[in-house]
Structure 1
Amino acid sequence: MNADTERTTPATDETAERRRPFAVFRSAQERARDKAAALAEREQAMIEVQRARDQREFEALEAEREKARLRRELATQAKLQQNQAAAERRSFRQRISRAVVLASANGGVNAVAVLGQVLGLTLGMGWPWWVAVPVALVAESIAVNVGYISHDKLINGYSAGWLRTLSYAIGVAVGWFNYTENANVPLTKEYALVFGACSLLSPVLWQIYSQWRHWEELRLQGMLEARAPKFAKLRWIIPSLRGETWQAFKLAVAEGIQSPEVAIGEVRSRIVTRTARDTLYAAREELVRAQSDALRLALVQLAALAHDLDGEDPRGTEARQNIAVFLARFRPFIPAVDLSEPDADSADEPEPVEEPTEERKMPTDQDNQRAKRYVINAVKRSKTVPTKGAVASKFGFSESWGYDRVVEAKRELEDLGWTFDPKGNPVEPGGTLVGSSNGSRPNPSHP
């Protein structure tokens, strides 16, 4: 019972709490809470109203935008239709005017040619008019018919050379007939040349029209090159602009440019690029020249240092020889320097240095190997070590180079078991000193 009471107590409290606002007597805290709840509900209702109003305004704005877009599309479509209709009307007027011009020219020429034929047949040959008129019309229509067939074949991409030639031949024949027959009639003698020329002009006019139509078809198909741009005459007259205009004209022809402004702008940009490139090349040459001057100065100082080294010291001699080889390699870049030897009266007279020549080449690895093998073979054959001077003179290089080859040969012989006494004489492997004072060859079995 108590448990049931405890379970129903919260519900009773909540019911009492809901019924509390309707009580006659309420506390100030309850009235403040009710007022705040009413205010919150009122604000929430206002927010919902504002949200609905904003939604309606947004939908109205979207509707206006959609209407404006539709009006623009309709206006654009109407403008396109107007432009298309105007283009069609313009094309129709051009065709009509072209047809009128062509018909008037060809019709007038053919009419005069037919008149000449009728007069030549009636007055010159005595034919009746009812025979001369059909014959003249047929004769003149033959050339026109052949010319039209030639035009149709040319427009459709076929060869029409022989048909054009045939139409010209018919025109020449009819024109010659008109001229000769009317020239013998006193009444039409003065007009004979006009009648003959009109008969000849009929196929010529057809050919001019046909060729023009053929070019139009090729242009529409993209089979003709674009026309060259037209520059102002003053650009060709003013000397300072003539070269630029000529360059722009050549560029436009080569690249298919039709706009004079584009061609001139391209030429000027290329000139700027070429100027920048030339400036860069000039700066690079100046840098190379400055580096060459620095190298010359360093080589001159190195040459002067070579003459200050001690000639009696083998290391100094070797250094001088290496410097001499280095100077020989860069001789064309070194200015003239006084490398004269010191006076003979000086106490420490250095060893004379072999003057390098430009003809002397630099030793290669093959030269080094040949010289080393030469020293080894000489030691094995004559049991004596060649001097550095002998090696240098044999191969044409410096003594320091010969000294290096002798040292390399001795090292290789030592690896093979050879030894050398303090004086540098060679000793065979397992034997005694070779080359004693009495010149006898030692016996390896008796040490």
Structure 2
Amino acid sequence: MIGLQVHESPIKKKLERDQTIMVERDWSSLPFDVLTVILERLRWSSHPSFALSCRHWHSAVPPFYPAWITPLLLNTARVGVTNLRYYSPYYHKNFEVGSDGGGHMLGAARGAKICCGSGRHLALGMSSAALDVDLLTGVVHKVPHVYKTMFDFIIYGDDACKMFGIDAVVPLKVAYVNQDDDGDWEDWTLTEFDINGPRLIPSPVTNPVIHRGLIYLLGEQGRLAVYDPCKHEKGFEILDKPMNFGFECYDSYDIYMFESDKNKLMVILIGQRGAPVHVVTLNENTMEWDKVDSLQGRALFTGTQASMMKKAELEWMQNRVFLPIFYKWLETVHVDLVSCDDELAFIPKSFSNTDYSTANEDGENCVDMWSYKLGQQEAAREFWGAEKMDYSIWIDLN
């Protein structure tokens, strides 16, 4: 009986060899270009966890600074007309975005006043018009103006598709404008002029604040004027209460109003050379200002037209007030502002000689230059030289 010899086909051998290689190769050996493609499809907030998987995966994660961790101080001080800088209290660095990354809007807005921000949108005021700027793309939309001079205050509505303009020259006047589906802004709608309308001397350094759907304008002594957008024709109404802040308030105070992260209407008063500092909140039952002794682990960012309070994860930032001071300058990282799945991050243009540490954990330099511990009794020397400028504003890109 003759035996038959069975030969395995070359194709079968190759399949078995490939399967063996796949079993032996684990996820840590994925090609670098594959990891890059995966990262492009993940949110920025997932990158740190991705980098912790193994050394190979960590090498594929590009250096980046999340732009949503704390509010950023957007400013144009000491920068050319084509660049923007964002100061981050978390990293204690300036991130400079050039003309190719959303900063070129300043070329078309020289001399403009920064009025307010809403997410990635920034409103600028000029003598002939207002401008709506997309900070990510640099696209500028012109908003028609109805006055020979700009409004005293311009703020966005609950989103960046509506603006309100407020003329604080007595009597108070208010207007609104909407953005259409094509991104163009319509004409302003004004309240009728009334020579006997409401009169209030507003705090000159703080924007009106939207609180529970109403717009509040703060007077220098704690009085409030309120406007209901649903009753536009009625304009502003000055409330009977509160009548004052509950303590003697001098003209030397800078007064800033904001809505806290817990939807409370609050005010910070900063005395000459940084002391004293008072924080009050509106008791909406009694309509009086109540003194606040602690920020309850939060940080307050103020000193510009827009102020905001946020929960602080780092201990050194808790119960601190942050103000812009420009007599000292910080390390500047040249970056692109990039979006990934609705999250924004600063991507350095050059990776050499750059420290990509997660944060300044101890905060020593930041404390000396930028912040004030609530309850501190002595005059805060770090406030000396604090600037109130039309070219800086706190914004939240979260």
Of the two, which has the highest radius of gyration?
1
Q: Structure 2 length as normaliser, TM-score? A: 0.16
**Structure with the higher fraction of residues in strand conformation:** 2
Higher relative contact order (CA 8 A, sep 6+): 2
Q: Structure 1 length as normaliser, TM-score? A: 0.14
**Structure with the higher fraction of residues in helix conformation:** 1
